[in-house]
Amino acid sequence: MTTLEKLFNPAQRQRLYQAIPTRYSCRSYVGAPSTADWASLGYAAERFALPGARLLLHTVSPDIFTGIVLGYGKITGCTTIAVLAASIATPHSRIHAGILGEAFCLEATALGLGTCWVAGTYKKKQLALPLQADETVLSIIAVGVPEKATPPDARKRKSLDRICKGDILLWPQELRRVAEAVQIAPSAINLQPWEMELTADRFILNAPERQQLDLGIAVCHAELAMESPHVWHFGDGKREPLAWVRALP
């Protein structure tokens, strides 16, 4: 079974970490990925697998995207997507799905492509996918050639003081790097629902239980920023945090 700590080889880890600050949400596209890039994304989608979650690449009509109200925020010109499916019977599948989806976005970013997470503003009936009986689609990810080069998302981010408990200046340098990577992770309507804490024996990355997909996105960024040996643990969100790491200096 693939674990999060073994999901990326060293070269992939470095490649995706370097893509974190340049990733942005792209809503206007002028074409699909090249044949070579689509093949690379297909390889990534197959390799990025965690229990209960998987990515399926799909071609669609551009009118699958609806926007919010009167077309506001509608994605245009996109004909290729990644579909994020999760098994509702598998523990932590929503967290795993967030990890895989963001890894896919960063892989696309490294190829010079644009991406955008899309949760509810698309026509679900247009997706004809071979899902398992216990699977559900959590989100789709638009991917393609961006209409124009766009700087990283300039929306306001919560300060580290707001999402980190305690004095982050006292944290080890590696964990400050992790916190900075989490700080710029995307989230639904930019809520940034994460909270980080360093205790005597663990680094905690938590979020409300209903936002496990967003937590998985943040966990992906955190994992790529970590260098010391570590092991991730995922809780049920009731008696313990949703995600934490032990044995990280």
Superfamily of domain 160-246: putative nitroreductase (tm1586), domain 2 (3.40.109.30)
User: Given 3-state DSSP classes, what are the helix, strand and coil percentages for the chain, each rounded to the nearest 5?
Assistant: 35, 25, 40
pLDDT in tens, 141-187: 999 999 987 666 566 889 999 999 999 999 999 999 999 999 999 99
Query: Hey, what amino acid is at 100?
Result: L
* Residue 196 half-sphere exposure toward CB, CA atoms < 13 A: 25
Check for a shared fold between 4-146 and 160-246. Answer: yes
pLDDT band at 248 (very low <50, low <70, confident <90, very high): low
The per-residue pLDDT of the chain, averaged, comes to 91
Classified by CATH at the fold level, domain 4-146 comes out as NADH Oxidase (3.40.109)
Domain residue ranges of the chain, discontinuous segments joined by +: 4-146, 160-246
The runs of H, that is alpha helices, within the chain are 10-19, 35-47, 93-110, 160-163, 173-183, 212-225
